[in-house]
Structure 1
Amino acid sequence: MTQEQLGFELNVTKASVSAWENGREAPGFRLLPKLREVVGVSLDELLCGADSAGALAEPYHAYGAEVRSETEAALLRAFRRLSVKRRQGLLDLIE
């Protein structure tokens, strides 16, 4: 999902999404329920990151794939933080 697509889903600008990804700003509280729905993670994950035990309580689905471990979840979070160009570069490398 591009920054523009996410911005459209949340009714915010692409620049706002970019600021969130780069840690310059955070989404407002009112956006969290819709953001959770769009990206397919729990509010706990959005607010707190991984649970304190270091393992997922149960598998969840994101981008159509079941995430089965905290390692996979951490990789997915890292991937989401990459710029679009770097994501594509990583995908090209994997292929």
Structure 2
Amino acid sequence: MEFGDKIKDLRKQSNLTQEKFAIRLNVTRQAVSNWENNRNLPDLEMLILISSIFHVSLDELILGGTNVNNMTEKLIKDGSETRRAKFNLISTIIGTFLLLFGFACFFIKATSVEYVDASGILHENFYLLPIGFLFIFSGLVIFSVIGIKFLFHLKRNK
């Protein structure tokens, strides 16, 4: 049973009109109509309120039996998109720090003092150049991978 049919059946069993049901949920009658016609789906907070009004479990309300309906698919999609967004955020932060560390290495190298001591040994921070390039390269690779994954995700969803 589709989610809209489940809401409509529960509403009718409780002898509620769309308008009375909408008032109890503090939404418009059009919102209830859209849910019942499967044009739109309520958010999670609204689902909890609906389940408490009809005294049904969220499992029964969302799953509506043994078949996976459009509400279940929406919740699964939302969960995977949340994980993807968290992964992208963490990857972006890591890439940003790598770039900043790379530029910091170049800045330290540019501002450090190079000198030759009394015994003729040159003291300079040459090791900062390859480390800086490594950090910048790593940051750019992370940003490139995130961008390519995003483009593939967009192409797959079209």
Per the normalisation by structure 2, the TM-score is 0.31
Q: Does 1:28 align with 2:43?
A: yes
Q: Distance in 2 between matches of 1:39 and 1:3?
A: 14
Equivalent of 2:34 in 19, 29, 44? 19
Question: What secondary structure, in the 3-state scheme, does the structure 1 residue paired with 2:39 have?
Answer: coil
User: Which structure 1 segments of 5+ residues have no match?
Assistant: 53-95
Structure number with greater CO (CA < 8 Å, separation at least 6) is 2
* Long gaps (5+) in structure 2: 1-15, 68-158
Percent identity reads 42
Partner in structure 1 of residue 53 of structure 2:
38
1:32: Cα distance to partner? 1.2
The Cα shift of 1:21 comes to 0.3
Alignment length, in residue pairs?
A: 52
| Residues 33 and 43, structure 1, Cα contact 8 Å, conserved in 2 | yes
| CA–CA separation in structure 2 for the residues paired with 1:4 and 1:40 | 19
Question: What letter is aligned with 1:30?
Answer: E
Taking only aligned residues, the RMSD between alpha carbons, in angstroms, comes to 1.3
Q: Which has the larger radius of gyration?
A: 2
Q: Does 1:48 align with 2:70?
A: no
Q: Which of the pair is proportionally richer in helix?
A: 2
**TM-score scaled by structure 1?**
0.50
- Structure 1 residue 27: Cα displacement: 0.9
CA distances 1:10-54 after superposition (whole Å, capped 9, x unpaired) = 1100000000000000111111111001122210011111146xx
Aligned residue identity for 1:21: E
Tell whether 2:23 aligns with 1:8. Answer: yes
The residue that corresponds to 1:86 in the other structure is: none
Instruction: State the 4+ residue runs in structure 1 displaced beyond 2 angstroms.
Output: none
